[in-house]
Each structure stands twice: as C-alpha cells, then as structure tokens.
Chain A
Amino acid sequence: MTVFLQQLVNGISLGSVYALFAVGFTLVFGVLEIINLAHPAVLAVGALVAYTLLSTLGVGLPLAVASTLLATGLLGLVLDAAAFRPLRARRAGPLASLITSIGAALILVSLAQRVWGAEPLGYPPGTIPLRFFSVGGLTISLLQIVILGTVIVLVVALRLLMTRTRVGIAIRAVAENPATASLLGVPFNRVVAFTFFLTSALGGVAGLLVGMLFQGSVSPFMGDTYGLKGLAAIILGGMGDITGAMLGGLAIGVGEVMIVQYLSSSYRDAVAFGLLFLVLVIRPTGLLGRQRSREA
C-alpha cells in the first residue's frame, strides 16, 4: 500500500507536468479548432531558455520561471503572427494550419539546435537542493513539491483568468462561437494572439519542469515525446476542455508510473496510447468532451 501511495505521488507530479503542457494544446484547439503541432517545440525552447538562465547566467529558480514564461509567451505571439494569422487572413482550412504548425516546429527545433547544440543538457545540480520529507511513510522530494506547487499556482491563475477577467471570458466566447463573439465586440485576432501567448508561456514552463524532473533530458528534440503524450491527454479528457486536459495529463502520468512499478518499464510509453485506445472505444468524445456535430 505504501508503495502504491508513493508511486501515486510520483505519478501525480509527473502527470501535473503533462497536464500543464496539454492545457496549451486544448486552449488553442478550443479557439481555432486546430492542433498546434509547434507546441512541443515551444516546450523544448522553454527548457533550453531555462538552461541558459540557470547554467550560463546563474539566476535563481523563481526568476528563471518568470523569464521562461515571458520568453516563450512572446515566442507564441511570433508563432501566431508568422505561421497562423496569415492563413486565417486567407481563410485557409484547419489542415493548412496543421501543416504550417509542423513546419514551424521544424524551424524552431533547427534554430534551437544552432543555438544550444544537439547534445542533451542538464540543469546545474543544486538548482533544487536534494531534500526529502517523510509524511506518514511516504517520501516526497523538494523537487516534487516545487513542481506540484508551480503547476498548481499556474493552473489556479489560469482558472481565475478564464472565469474572472474580460480577456478570459472573451477567449471562451470565441471558443464557443466566433461569429457571436465578434457581435459582442470581441476582436478575434487579438484574442487568438493572446491565447498563443498564454499557451506558449505555460508550455515553456512545462519544459523547464521536465528539465528538472529528468536530469540531462534538455535538448531541442525533447518535445517529441511530450507532444504525443499531450495529444493523448487532450483526447482522453475531451478536446477543448481545460479540466479534461488536466485530468488526461494526470491519468497518463499516474498510469505510466504504475506500469513501471507493477509491470515493466518497457511498457511505459504504451500507457498513453493504451488509455487513448480504450477511451476512444468506450467514449469517443473523451472523458469530459461534448459531442461535436457537423450537422447545422
């Protein structure tokens, strides 16, 4: 039982990072109905920017988190302006945007390779002191606390933003019905740009957290694994639903850790897709998803 609870804690801290990342996918999907496949590359850039901040510049963790948020947020604005907005202006379909997002991902990864090289990097030891706390037989590391704490703060902030602020309500209005939103005076392109800022900022921080969780995992290519898991998470939870993406991310994180504990580590990556397969068979709209109908 203790082992199980211990692994549950480990799984939740891993899953919370997946969740943070997946929220980015789902928000963009909600507003634009496209999958932004450049999102994994943003995660990698976030981790690499944080590497520079922590290793080369030697800044402290709080400042590194804040700067990464801002840097990848701005990157999101550039992404939208360069890759997606021109397509919207020409009324291109979602498939065109999907292809463009793959292109944008390739460009970002190549640029990152130029700047940071292709070798995996690690954050300086001691970024988070190796310290452990015992709670009722469970061991929780300071790292896990920091990660969970960061994700919780960001998610609560996101929730408040989406329900209490003018821009948050505007994002949800656009996600539900862009034409109606425009009749209420909501400027579509500005809302989309802000959504890219927001999602990329969260994705960048997710990259930083992954870099801390797995020593020596930071590289321009690190996004690939998370991209697939993030997609699995949002389909699991229901496309376009923030809570669904969070639950999906957590489920995949916990599932992975449990499989490693009770089965074999070689099945680890099968979890995301096994779960995905199950959900699609049993409930094709995802756990919290609504039916999307093509009929008018």
Chain B
Amino acid sequence: MLAVERLSRNFGGLRALDDVSLAVRDGEILGLIGPNGAGKTTLFNVVTGFLRPTAGRVRFRGEEITRWPADRVTARGVARTFQNIRLFREMPAVENVVVGGHVRTRATLLDALAHTRTHRDEESAGRVRARALLALVGLDGRETTPAGALAYGDQRRLEIARALATRPALLLLDEPAAGMNAAETEALMQLIRRLRDELGLTILLIEHDMKLVMGVCDRVAVLNFGRKIAEGSPEEVRRDPTVIEAYLGRRAERRAPVAVRAGEVVLAVEHLRAGYARGDVLHGVSLEVRAGQIATLIGANGAGKSTLLRTISGLLRPRAGQIRLGHVAIGGAAPDRIVGLGVAHVPEGRQILARLTVEENLRAGAYARRDRDIERDLATLSERFPVLRERRAQPAGTLSGGEQQMLAIARGLMARPRLLMLDEPSLGLAPQFVDRVFEVVLGVQADGVPILLVEQNAQLALETAHWGYVLESGRIATQGSADRLLGDAAVQRAYLG
C-alpha cells in the first residue's frame, strides 16, 4: 500500500529522519512508536506532503508521490489526523466532516454560485455521508454541536471522521489516544479495528499509549533518533533489547550521586489532583524530596510528569491536595511567589529566552533575588559552565541544544533555589551532551541543592538519583530507592506496557 524508501529529512543540522524504509501492507494496522523526538510525526509530514524529504522516495499503491503537495496526496487516498487537534472549532461537528469531503466533490465554484443541480446533489449527499461517518465514530446525536464544545475524546473522534470523509485508502493517525482516559482509549481501539474490518482501511498509527499499540497493531515499527531500530509483531518489539534501551536508556558506568543521609523534607506533595480543562491528569499524587537528595519521577509520555512540575511551580492550580515547601504551603500561589520562596523550575524544552543574551538570561534567573551576591554567582557559574562564559554576549537562541540546556540549568541556579526541578533535561540531546548535562546535575546535588528530576530516560534517571517514583496514568505506581527500581520489572511495564 505505502512504501517509504530510504527517506531522510534534515532540519538545519538535525537529522530528523535518517534513511528510513518502511512498508505498510494492504489492510494492516501498523504502529509507529519511539521516544519523543524520534521523527515519527516528521515521517507523517513527509508522507502526506506537509514537508519535503531531503532524500528518499514515497510510493503509494505503486505510484511515486514524493514531493506532491498535500492536497494531491489526500485526493489520491491518504488521510491523516493531527497530534494537536485541528478542528474548525466554531463549526458544527457535521460541517467539519462535510469540509473533509470537499476533496471528493466535482462541482465547481460556478456550480455553487449558480446553485446548479450537481452542486445541490453533492451538498446533500455530502451531508448524508457526514452523518453516517459521525455515527460510525460514535458521535451520532452531536451533529450540531460546535466542534470546540465537544469533549476532548469526542474531538479526537471527530478528527477521524473528518479524515474519513476524504474517502482514504490509507489512514494516518497521529497520537489518537493522547489525553484520553482509559474508557475512551478502549472505545478508540474498537473504532480503529472497525475501520480496518468494516471499511477495509489500511492504518498507520503513531501512539505512545502502549496498551493501545500492543492491543490493535498487527505489526510495530520503532524509530529512535530518526532511524528505524526495529520492526515486527508487538510481542517481538516489546522484548527487543534495542527497543527497551531506546525507551529506558542504556546502562552505563557513571559517577554515582554523592551518598547522603536523607535530610529533612524540602518538598512535600500530598494527594495532589490537577489537570487541564479536559479533565484531571493527576489523580492524588503524593511524593517528597528530602534535603541533599536527587529524587526522580519517571514514567511514560502522558503519565503526568510535567503536569506535576507545572502544578508545583504554580503554572497550574491544584484542584485538591497539599504542596509544601519546608513548612510553607505553596499550593495555588502565583508562580513568581513560589519562585521567590526558592523553587527553580527548568521547564521541558529548556525555554531559554532566545532574543536575550546568555548573560541576560542568567540575570533574569536572579530576578527574584534582592541580595548583592548576584555578580559573584555569575562569576561562579561561568567557571562551572565555561561555554556560557564564552558566549556571554550572544543571543541565547544561537546556542546549540545542549548549550541551551546548560543555560537553562544555570539560569535556574541563579535563583539560589532551595529546590531545583528539572523537566526532561536529556530530551533531544546527543549522547555526549546528555552525559555532560548529568555531570552538571550531580555537581549541583553535591553542592547541596536538592533536585526533583523528571526524565523519560529511566535508566539514566535512576542511575543519577537516590530515590525514584514511577508515575503511571496520573498515579504513583511504585516508589523506592533508585538502586532497587533499576532492576524492577514494574518500571519496564510503565513504559512498554
């Protein structure tokens, strides 16, 4: 059905896809998995014509469609949904689906203006079909509801209905279960099977929810750093050591964290519930970080790790539960106050201020401070991060990814925090940079700053930390000393199902 041949795509210096070949067979459900930044969505974008490949070819039903514009690819029979929902929010659900059918109408603009028979017939046929598709995905009765007013899971299904309206032979689903609860995911799995069995569709799907992937896919392909590292039945892939390493990280001989006696509790989180408009992400999470320690929070994508950090630093309001820094309750306070009390949060994706210089970023990190030691701390940090000293006057946006991560950590330290929270410091970094970042993390801990580390690379995180928490679907599934968790099968289950 679809053949991807030696496909590569570069973004600047980054190789998002590196010589990937993949064949999707007629009538199969093929899962595409891999850690964040592996190149999965890029592959979708190249196949559907949203991006041009740097090298390689894409063939669909034997016909070469490489470099075709997106609308032509769609017209030929490839439809997709998006990772971030892209519906016409103000339009009724049924209209969203009708729009999807336009690629298949023959009436011209003139027909529409003249209100000719062709146009009217097509319009009404399109509506009938749209209603049928809504019924198929389980949205009957919601036809007139504006798309934006639908529940989150329903919006995802509406996206599928809209994609189906283009009458595809091949359907690409980009994280269809993202943000869904267990019951919604279950219903989605049934829907995906019906699409194949009843409509005869071939389906290629990206998904982080391993239960779904293992449950519906006939075969699974795994990407990591833009390369295909495995392909096979779900069972084979799940047991493949290369895949396990890609997800959990490699065991390496690293400097262990400085041994400490667990001190007083610096951060205490109790029964925390929090989330977004579409529902709770955290369902009663409790954890603590003690003086001198590195505590790590690991778990699969979507488990709620970043949500927890965002709630602690005040970007999200807790719905229930307690957060205490030392003896001060900080739950629900504004972020600038929480920072002022001593919590430094180095967010996912680094979030350096690209238009400010490196030095200005560091000074911004000290905003909450009033003391006179800022200059001295700047000097100390320049010694710890020589690369930042060299690039002091450069706009931070010109730094490489690894340097930006160093800057983000250094900026957090400029606040002289009582607690440093790091969100995915290794994300998207080349291995040698990952080692350097973790050297820095250990150095910070040795200086006595307790750390709460969120990391997808579980192996690496547990080697670095004293204590680990495994978060699964918004709940702490297990916890224990990092050494013990390193060999724990529960950790692998949390990632690969």
Choose among A169, A176, A177, A187 the residue that contacts B336 (Cβ–Cβ < 8 A): A187
Q: Does A1 contact B (CB under 8 A)?
A: no
Contact with A along B318-355 (1 / 0, CB 8 A): 00000000000000001110011000010100010111
**Are B367 and A184 in contact, with the CB atoms below 8 A?**
yes
Within 8 A of B (CB), among A145-181: 163, 166, 169-170, 172-173, 176-177, 179-181
Question: Assuming the A-B contacts A172-B353, A177-B351, are A186 and B315 also in contact, with contact meaning beta carbons closer than 8 angstroms in the complex?
Answer: no
Chain B residues, CB < 8 A from A183: 313, 315, 335, 339, 345, 347, 351
Chain A residues, CB < 8 A from B360: 163, 169, 172
In whole angstroms, what is the CA distance A173 to B354 when docked?
9
**Are B355 and A172 in contact, with the CB atoms below 8 A?**
yes
Which residue of A is nearest B356, CB measured? A172
CB distance from B342 to the nearest CB of A (A): 10
Q: Does B411 contact A (CB under 8 A)?
A: yes
Q: Does B400 contact A (CB under 8 A)?
A: no
Q: How many residues on chain A are close to B (CB under 8 Å)?
A: 19
**Are A176 and B356 in contact, with the CB atoms below 8 A?**
yes
In whole angstroms, what is the CA distance A177 to B347 when docked?
12
Chain A residues, CB < 8 A from B313: 183
Chain A residues, CB < 8 A from B355: 172, 176
CB distance from B334 to the nearest CB of A (A): 7
**Are B365 and A184 in contact, with the CB atoms below 8 A?**
yes
In whole angstroms, what is the CA distance A180 to B423 when docked?
13
**Are B347 and A180 in contact, with the CB atoms below 8 A?**
yes
Q: Does A129 contact B (CB under 8 A)?
A: no
In whole angstroms, what is the CA distance A182 to B335 when docked?
6
Within 8 A of B (CB), among A41-59: none
Q: How many residues on chain B are close to A (CB under 8 Å)?
A: 24
CB distance from A172 to the nearest CB of B (A): 6
**Are A176 and B367 in contact, with the CB atoms below 8 A?**
no
Which residue of A is nearest B315, CB measured? A179
Choose among B84, B315, B351, B356 the residue that contacts A169 (Cβ–Cβ < 8 A): B356
In whole angstroms, what is the CA distance A186 to B340 when docked?
9
Q: Does A185 contact B (CB under 8 A)?
A: yes
Chain B residues, CB < 8 A from A172: 353, 355-356, 360
In whole angstroms, what is the CA distance A188 to B313 when docked?
15
Q: Does B107 contact A (CB under 8 A)?
A: no
Question: Assuming the A-B contacts A173-B356, A176-B355, A177-B353, are A184 and B364 also in contact, with contact meaning beta carbons closer than 8 angstroms in the complex?
Answer: yes
Chain B residues, CB < 8 A from A188: 336
Which of A163, A172, A180: most chain B CB closer than 10 A? A180
Q: Does A95 contact B (CB under 8 A)?
A: no
Q: Does A115 contact B (CB under 8 A)?
A: no
Choose among A180, A185, A187, A296 the residue that contacts B351 (Cβ–Cβ < 8 A): A180
CB distance from B352 to the nearest CB of A (A): 8
In whole angstroms, what is the CA distance A153 to B353 when docked?
28
Chain A residues, CB < 8 A from B347: 180, 183
Question: Assuming the A-B contacts A172-B355, A176-B354, A296-B84, are A184 and B368 also in contact, with contact meaning beta carbons closer than 8 angstroms in the complex?
Answer: yes
12 contacts between A and B (CB under 8 A): A166-B367, A172-B355, A173-B356, A176-B354, A176-B355, A179-B315, A179-B351, A180-B347, A182-B314, A183-B315, A184-B365, A184-B411
Q: Can you add 7 more A-B contacts, CB < 8 Å, to A172-B353, A180-B347, A183-B315?
A: A173-B356, A176-B353, A176-B354, A182-B315, A182-B334, A183-B351, A185-B336
| B contacts, CB < 8 Å to A | 84, 313-315, 334-336, 339-340, 345, 347, 351, 353-356, 360, 363-365, 367-368, 411, 415
The 9 A-B residue pairs whose C-beta atoms are closest, nearest first, are A185-B368, A185-B339, A182-B335, A187-B336, A180-B351, A185-B367, A173-B364, A176-B353, A185-B336
| A contacts, CB < 8 Å to B | 163, 166, 169-170, 172-173, 176-177, 179-188, 296
